[in-house]
Structure 1
């Protein structure tokens, strides 16, 4: 069965990624989580995947960053006492300890605690990320950061509507870098539909639109409508347990039971 997203397809969206680079390792972390857990989160549907990628690729610089670049800046220095993020009111290092990590920058003690609870619903063996924040950057947990943001903010229905402004506001709290989020979403949409990442003209021509290469409202609506017609990627069939296979074989090959 195919993955929800392969590294090769991702590179068509992002441009070439050196295989031995940190960027590639970050991308592989995301793909590991997406292809393992994305089916259960509704992200095997191409139109949702395109909207997710549009946000993720903006937030982490196309997988160049998996943690916050720390100065500290004046704003970062204030994190230490940000009780709204669950950090303590004392200057005890919480700001740096719970700095932004993963491809969507999980920030603050409360969010690390919430991420732990969410991940443990998927895998009860997951670490306590509040107790060990650095573990967030280990596989398979790192790639789950963006999926947690997406799932916990209820973004699938907004993606179903094709409302990129609403998706952006719920992730960002505003509309920062909206044009870049739209650009990444457009690239993802085109690639998932089988076009080149910048070949909007070819799509417009095929869709019977004015061929001007400009991503206006009609082109956005047509891209979204086209993606809605694609079937979701089917999850792989679970492999039978080895012990069960051995038990079945033992009925015919008694020596296996020894």
Structure 2
């Protein structure tokens, strides 16, 4: 499973106690329920975490910061958000909650109903007391609800961070920061330093300029997708297979969904990158270049085998474990 240490690496700093608590809420929900909403695969997970990181200010905030600003004052009568037309305090009461900032009475009601239908029929009445959304496990489930009900996986599957941003934000506010966070998240899941764009570009045979432009973003997406394809090709249990424990309740056994694929991320991407980088050598026809390229690829494969063997995957796949 993902850890707070990995999230700290993505953010580039140690968490405060508040950040760590907020991050743990997000990770707990992912561990228990992430696979049920399709977030067990790295390319979706990277998009999800990038948006959560932006919306929460790097896990600093699980409630909307309230001024109130002029826009927030108008929340009180935003009937399109399900609030009453009177100035009766609905704006403050139903301000953004959880890491995804669930806002408005209508969204709060929808989230409550989703929790009662899919998680626990006795889930709290968030409409009566929205602050209960910021208690575990509900705080971490809020972003999953939004991601699931807005069907954002279809955009993650094509690496479309721009449309995901619009579906979450209603526009493109903070798009540059969301993209920056996506790049950092993807690099960490691919076992690169979160700032090492050049290293990824070099390993992927791209122009090495340190800029996460369209080609680099597309390559990051392809690399994350390949991780899922790789684990399936090796005979790993299908990543979207339902767990043996069928209960979807929070009290059920922990499901290693989102973390299952990520466990293999670290060794696999480096091997893939080496093979991609040696394609030209292996097809050159020059015997010296061919031999050198073959040695490099063989070394990468041996290193990958050693990492997988250390992790017990070889025994599992061959039936020895």
TM-score range, shorter chain: 0.7 to 0.9
1:43-58 mapped onto 2 (5 Å cutoff)? 43-58=39-54
> Does the aligned pair in 1 maintain the 2:38–2:240 contact within 8 Å?
no
Is 2:68 the counterpart of 1:61? no
TM-score by length of 2: 0.70
Q: Which residue of 1 aligns with 2:72?
A: 76
Is 2:163 the counterpart of 1:163? no
Q: Which residue of 203, 208, 212 corresponds with 2:200?
A: 203
> Does the aligned pair in 2 maintain the 1:109–1:130 contact within 8 Å?
yes
Q: Which residue of 2 aligns with 1:91?
A: 87
Q: Which residue of 1 aligns with 2:3?
A: 6
Is 2:224 the counterpart of 1:227? yes
Q: Structure 1, unaligned stretches of length 5 or more?
A: 241-258
> Does the aligned pair in 1 maintain the 2:53–2:181 contact within 8 Å?
yes
> How far apart in 1 are the matches of 2:138 and 2:171?
27
Q: What is the CA distance between 1:239 and its match in structure 2?
A: 10
Q: Deviations over 1:88-125 (max 9, x none)?
A: 11222111111111111111111110000111222222
1:33-52 mapped onto 2 (5 Å cutoff)? 33-52=29-48
> Does the aligned pair in 2 maintain the 1:13–1:188 contact within 8 Å?
yes
Q: Which residue of 2 aligns with 1:182?
A: 179
Q: What is the CA distance between 1:65 and its match in structure 2?
A: 0.5
- After the TM superposition, which segments of 4 or more aligned residues of structure 1 sit over 6 Å from their partners? 233-236
> How far apart in 2 are the matches of 1:65 and 1:52?
17
Q: Which residue of 2 aligns with 1:131?
A: 128
Q: Structure 2, unaligned stretches of length 5 or more?
A: 229-238, 248-321
More helix by share: 2
TM-score by length of 1: 0.87
RMSD: 1.8
Please give the secondary structure, in 2, of the residue aligned with 1:38. Answer: helix
Q: Which residue of 2 aligns with 1:238?
A: 245
Q: Which residue of 2 aligns with 1:251?
A: none
> Does the aligned pair in 1 maintain the 2:62–2:134 contact within 8 Å?
yes
